[in-house]
Amino acid sequence: MRTTGHLQSRRANQRLDWLRERCELDLLTNFRRHLSESSRTTDGVQHILDEHSSLSTAANVILADFFKTKAKTKP
């Protein structure tokens, strides 16, 4: 496996998979925190849901707010 480079290829793919998993976990953790903070402050998530006729539209509003908030906190 070493002479063909198969092991190195598998390790490289494994590292990419681990990186993706880590990014997904961090993103999900931060998003859940954002939802929790929104709900705690002014029932923001419920308010957004009540204002929009579809779940897709409400989700887009929530996601836009999440990414806007994250962009503001970047150094």
Tell me the H-state helices in the chain. Answer: 6-42, 44-51, 55-73
Q: What is the DSSP string of 19-31?
A: HHHHHHHHHHHHH
Residue-wise pLDDT for 47-69, tens only, equals 888 999 899 999 999 999 999 98
CA angle 7, 9, 12 (to 5 degrees): 110
Residue-wise pLDDT for 9-45, tens only, equals 999 999 999 999 999 999 999 999 998 887 766 677 8
The predicted pLDDT at position 41 comes to 65
- Listed by start position, the domains of the chain span 6-73
